[in-house]
Structure 1
Amino acid sequence: MLEIEPGKEKMVKEYLTQVDLEEERDSQEMNAMQRFDKGDEKATTVLHLLEKLSKAEQMPLYYCGGFEILSQAVTDCTGQTLFRLNNGFSIISSNDMVRSCLLQKTTDPDSLELCMSVLKLWRVICCGNDENQKMLMTCPVSRESIVHLLTSEHVAEHAVPLCDCCLGLLRDRDGGVITRVTGVLSTVLPQSSEAVQHVIRGDFVRTMCRLLKGSGQTATKYAIKTLTVCTAASHLAREELLKSDKKLSILRHLLASSCDEMVSGNAALCLAHCLELEGIASNLLGTDIVPLLLRHAAQDAKRTAVQRNAAIALGKLCRSEPRCPLTLLYKPHAVDYI
């Protein structure tokens, strides 16, 4: 196929990667069930502990101890797989006490200890296991608690490994997983410059551009925020964006079509970052960039962030390119907004 359509090489590679992941998952599940059927002690221990933990309305220390023992019992891929196959994620998410602790609705020492034991278990269960990582991101209580915990002051300490995990999940074919992972990245990256530099070394900018071309409203909001954070911090990110989209048609499309203030504001700000690159203003001659920015700069005063970012981008554009159609700026009040 690559010989017939060389341009689809990346798409083929992504498809083959997905096939490999599915084959790996099937193989893991078959091996896990075989070991359980043979009475393997580690395999039966995982199921026994899950049965104990499924009991409702126990004391926090009961669950805390159970999760600690389970974390020690899961020592390989077989244990991780059996946890998933036997509703381990559901057992945690359906427990009211565990949910309350994860969302930090209670702050007593026992509840905090339970929260830590669940997070430790998730780390053990998901380490090196793509299918479990995906399952974790689709679990409502884990999604809520992860987003809640990501806003804590300590997230920067673990930002790089967390982003590594997210980058792997961006290859998933499930749109819901990709949206949630992008949401996590949009929360983590602003808190860690080290994580920003780490993610842009790969194909991250192109991945965000691809999401912006064909995603829903929520994913678009997350992706443009993430891309704006990257272009603000990195010259390389701006260059990668220009390689993918020389006339910044994606950003211009968002400015022209989005009614979401966050999307429009971040698109204008991202555009302003890119205009710091030499020659980009010339590339935009003949496009609709000036009227788009002018329209946002002169909009409702309530959208102050959008106005400010659009004005900044417009100012950089006019300063960088003398051939910019400045006659548009002589419309009533246009200069006032700049």
Structure 2
Amino acid sequence: MAALEMQRFLREVDAIAELIQGMNSDDPAVREKSTSEADKRISAIENKGVIEGGCRTKLNRTVIDSNPTDARDNPEMNQENFLKILEQDAQERAKRRKENEKLANALKQMGNEAFAKGDYGTAIQRYTEGLEKLKDMQVLYTNRAQAYIKLEKHREAISDCEWALRCNDRSIKAYVHMGRANLGLKNYKEAVQCYKKILDIDSKQENLVQAYVTQVEIAERKSFQEKEALEEFEQGKEAATSVKELLQKLAKTNQVAIYYAGGIKLLTEWIKDCTEQTLFRMHSGFSIINDNEVISSCFFTLQFISCNNVLFIHVISLMIVVFFSSYSEENQQVLVTWPNTSKQLIELLCSEVPEVQKQCVALLSLYSQTEHGRNLILNNLDLSKLLQTLMPLMSRSDTVACSAVGILTNLALEKRFKIKFRANVEATALPPFSNLLKKNIKLANQSVLPQCISVMGNLASDEVIRKQLSESKECWEACLTAMDDCLLLGNEADYRETLFMLLGLMVNLSLKSSCEIQEKAVAITSRCLSLLSSRDGEILTRTAGLLSHVLPQSAFAVEEAVRGGLVKKIMQLLKASGQTTTRYCIRTLAACTKASEQARSDTVQLDKSKSLAYSPQKLNF
């Protein structure tokens, strides 16, 4: 009975809270209705002395009860019962919440599955049902906001994000989706503010925030460009109207290839700035070219290249003009995300027509030169195939080789590019790289090969990739072959950059011990002994660095080094070396003297001044 009374009391509290909320509403009708209901309740209390469904104590201001109840005679017992009722109610509420949490999580999972299938309406329905079970479940609000954004219901998404922040004011996901929703509404300033609030929660998210802010800036530029371009077109400016007229002519079907080639050439000449680029996009320029069978067969089908390469070259020239300027990010995205474009761009790099290869490489090179362009490549192109296609082009002696290595150099600095090759670098990146190194160095493009080695060095800065390459027999054999070519050719100056970059890569790969390094340690050491006669200080430093990594891994290599007079060469190098070289030399001597009695004897004999024993600065590494 007491529990029933408590439930009635709690319901009454909820009802009164709703009345108060209604009386504070911005809606006059709601306020009037709530005020009227409140008046009725007050009147009922004053006239009847009861609250319907609540405590049945009658109000009497003039009479004092002369016979107190047993409960009043036993206040401790009354308090004990009250606490028991509260505890029981708390337990029941906790039980119901646990059940509701289970149901809400199940509905969330169902919503996530619908979202993954692209069924955003069903996803919203499931998230809503989950919120009916548990109104303070933050993730349901942010998930539903994301689904609303997919359906372009941006205001509803913002409302859900606000509710999520009421549940947790440090929700990064809520600010992200609120920023995206504001972007969808073209509230650019508000979107940036939402993204920047993330830094107040976690200052380490600076890169994430900058990426989102960049998206806002691109969208705002796009909106401004389209507005400006439309104004010029409506004013009848010749360049603006000519773009549309030429696109209309190119939209004609079943014309000969020379007709389209001439039209595209004229169109390219008219497109001089951002206004014409924007009008090209606004008037479906890329769709017209892509949907035209004659043009698209030339652009996207390799079999047609040999007979229609003039048309193809004009198309590529148009793409370069249309899609690349300081602020043409939207056009760049349209091109690379168009169906089949990303695949065909890589295939066209294999064309037997030199000019076709040249234009395709030039197009990709432009993409790689900006952060936005690199992101488009990373998100849309098959990176393994791209690398495998570009590497062989580096053996050419023309500008194509320079552009090809430039693309990979720009991409290799990106963390996501490295992550892509973690699982299969030996099968994808290593074979074409090894082939380049194993070719006659004398015939290689000496302005390109060092950069190619640098690309692999950047990949090897990733610990996972470095471990795989360090344990690869193919990799070490290719490096040794290239070293042999550099040493045998004799004129070090001609191949200095190649040798310098190669030594840097080998120093990097030998940071951690591996079975393959132990296997090749003697071969590596013998080549390093020859290089210690070099007059190039940087070559000497890297040679000493490689020895300091390799010798501790092989007693046989130490024997080879000591027999070859390594101790004497290192002692001479110590006399006129910088801090880095000194550190490498000391480690090299330490490895030798630890494993070889002869090395210890040679060191003592050569260090007559005891400089190693009494010069702390020499040993401070």
Q: The TM-score by the shorter chain falls in which range?
A: 0.5 to 0.7
TM-score, normalised via structure 1 length: 0.63
Q: Pick from 6, 17, 22 the counterpart of residue 219 of structure 2.
A: 22
User: What is the Cα deviation at residue 36 of structure 1?
Assistant: 1.9
Q: Which residue of 1 aligns with 2:348?
A: 149
Checking the alignment, whether the CA contact within 8 Å between 2:413 and 2:458 is kept in structure 1 is no
- Deviation at 1:197? 5.6
Q: How many residues matched?
A: 272
* Deviations, residues 64-96 of structure 1 (Å, cap 9, x unaligned): 221122112212111111111221111111111
Task: State the secondary structure of the residue aligned to 1:75.
Answer: coil
**Given residue 30 of structure 1, which amino acid in structure 2 is its aligned partner?**
K
1:53 maps onto 2:250 in alignment: yes
Instruction: For residue 173 of structure 1, report the CA deviation from its aligned partner.
Output: 9.6
**Structure 1 pair 160–39 and aligned structure 2 pair: CA distance change class (3 A):** closer
Distance 1:230 1:208, change over 3 A: farther
**Counterpart Cα distance in 1 of 2:320 and 2:237:** 23
User: 1:36, 1:43 within 8 Å by CA — same for their partners in 2?
Assistant: yes
- For residue 315 of structure 1, the aligned residue among 516, 524, 533 is 516
SS in 2 for 1:283: coil
Give the secondary structure class of the aligned counterpart of 2:272: coil
Letter in 1 for 2:507: E
The equivalent residue for 2:338 is 139
Matched with 1:206 is 415
**In structure 2, how many angstroms separate the alpha carbons of the residues matched to 1:42 and 1:223?**
52
Is 1:171–2:375 an aligned residue pair? Answer: yes
Is contact 1:46–1:70 with CA below 8 Å preserved after alignment? Answer: yes
CA distance in 2, matches of 1:228, 1:6: 41
**2:261 maps to 1:43:** no
What CA deviation, in whole Å up to 9, does each residue of 1:8-50 have, x standing for no partner? Answer: 4433433333332222222212211222233332212211211
Is the CA contact 1:137–1:181 (under 8 Å) kept in the aligned structure 2?
no
Cα distance in 2 for residues equivalent to 1:270 and 1:25: 49
Gaps of 5+ in 1: 214-219, 256-264, 286-313, 325-338
CA 1:16 to 1:228, structure 2 compared with 1: closer, same or farther past 3 Å? farther
Cα RMSD after superposing both structures: 4.1
For residues 269 and 10 of structure 1, the distance between their equivalents in structure 2, rounded to whole angstroms, comes to 38
Q: Does 1:187 align with 2:187?
A: no
Residues 203-261 of structure 1, C-alpha deviations (whole Å, 9 max, x = no match): 62534114447xxxxxx779984587679755544543454x34x2x576xx7xxxxxx
Structure 1: how far apart are the matches of 2:338 and 2:411? 28
Give the AA of the match of 1:49: L
Amino acid in structure 2 at the alignment position of 1:88: G
- 1:124-153 Cα deviation digits (max 9, x unpaired): 211212222222222346445533331135
Give the unaligned 5+ runs of structure 2.
1-197, 395-400, 438-448, 480-501, 522-549, 555-621
Partner of 1:81: 278
CA distance in 1, matches of 2:382, 2:309: 25
Q: Deviations over 1:279-322 (max 9, x none)?
A: 6445357xxxxxxxxxxxxxxxxxxxxxxxxxxxx533544566
* Structure 1 residues 239 and 120, CA gap change in structure 2 (3 angstroms): closer
Distance 1:276 1:40, change over 3 A: closer
Q: Say if 2:455 is the partner of 1:240.
A: no
3-state SS, counterpart of residue 58 of structure 1: coil
* Residues 1:196 and 2:408 aligned together: no
Q: Pick closer, same or farther for the CA change 1:276–1:47 going to 2, 3 Å.
A: closer
Q: Which SS does the other structure have where 2:254 is aligned?
A: coil
Q: Which SS does the other structure have where 2:303 is aligned?
A: coil
**Higher relative contact order structure (alpha carbons within 8 Å, sequence separation ≥ 6):** 1
Partner residue of 2:512 out of 261, 268, 283: 283
Cα pair distance change 1:90/1:182, threshold 3 Å: farther
Matches within 5 A, 1:255-334: 277-278=506-507, 280-281=509-510, 283=512, 315-316=516-517, 318-320=519-521
Aligned to 1:90: 287
Structure 1 residue 55: deviation in Å? 1.3
Are 2:231 and 1:34 equivalent residues in the alignment?
Answer: yes
Match of 1:105 among 300, 303, 317: 303
Does the aligned pair in 2 maintain the 1:156–1:188 contact within 8 Å?
no
Q: Which amino acid aligns with 2:418?
A: C
Deviation for aligned residue 1:164: 3.8
Instruction: Say whether the 8 Å CA contact 2:302–2:351 is kept in structure 1.
Output: no
TM-score by length of 2: 0.37
2:506 match: secondary structure: coil
Q: Work out which of the residue numbers 263, 284, 288 in structure 2 matches 1:66.
A: 263
Q: CA deviation at 1:269?
A: 7.6
Verify the 8 A CA contact 1:71 1:121 in the aligned structure 2. yes
Answer whether contact 1:67 1:121 (CA < 8 A) is retained: yes
Q: Which amino acid aligns with 1:171?
A: N
Q: State how far apart, in whole Å, the 2-side matches of 1:239 and 1:7 are.
A: 27
What letter corresponds to residue 368 of structure 2 in structure 1?
Answer: C
Alignment CA distance shift 1:14-1:210 (3 Å) = farther
Aligned to 1:118: 315
Deviations 1:149-194 (A, max 9, x none): 311353368746742423432224983x3x2577545423431253
CA contact (8 A) 2:199 2:206 kept: yes
| Distance in 1 of aligned mates of 2:520 and 2:268 | 59
CA contact (8 A) 1:2 1:9 kept: yes
